[in-house]
Amino acid sequence: MKKTLLLVLVGMLLAVALVVSCNRSGTAGTTTSATSGPAPMELYIMNGAEVQSLDPSQVTGVPEHHVNLALFEGLVGYDPRTAKAVPGAAESWTYNSDRSVITFTIRQGLVWSDGTPITAQTFVDSWLHRRYQDA
């Protein structure tokens, strides 16, 4: 059931990417002029329901999950053909000898949309944020 749901969600995401990328002008949705530079871009997701939260640690429903798939990238992604983890924000990962600890190597140059760097501490903070919400 979970695998089917995940495949449906990935298919929907790919369909949205296909629609967004189909642009006759070849400019991928941006326009430029001598005075204004690139025009702002907006992402529309036909979700069917209003999301309750954009906080990934609060996501409980499918509508929120659809939006979070478009907004955030995890340490690893998922290859639907092989069902194996693929690099996301982490370029690689290793296990200790008893496989109880995973060490991720974060890709260089990752930034938030406002230019703030994304570091390993960013991921640690996100896990701690969720952990202390439950306390």
Is 41 found in the same domain as 5? Answer: yes
The pTM for the full model equals 0.56
Is 83 found in the same domain as 65? Answer: no
Using the Cα atoms of residue 128, residue 106, residue 97 and residue 77 in order, give the sign of their dihedral: positive
Is 34 found in the same domain as 7? Answer: yes
Q: pLDDT tens-digit profile of 44-64?
A: 777 788 888 888 888 888 888
Count of structural domains, the chain:
2
Position 6 scores a pLDDT of 63
Task: Identify the weakest region by mean pLDDT among 27-36, 58-67, 91-100, 121-130.
Answer: 27-36
For 64, the token pair is 């929120």
Is 89 found in the same domain as 48? Answer: no
User: Which range among 38-47, 57-66, 101-110 has the greatest average pLDDT?
Assistant: 101-110
Mean pLDDT of 27-38: 56
Q: Which domain CATH number covers 124? A: 3.90.76.10
Q: Is the pLDDT of residue 36 over 60?
A: yes
Position 38 scores a pLDDT of 74
Q: Residue 45 sits in which domain range?
A: 1-72
Of 18, 46, 72, the domain-final residue: 72
Is 100 found in the same domain as 82? Answer: yes
Residue 73's nearest CA partner among 16, 23, 13, 133 is 13
**Average pLDDT in the chain:** 79
- Cα–Cα distance, 107 to 60 (Å, whole number): 29
Is 66 found in the same domain as 88? Answer: no
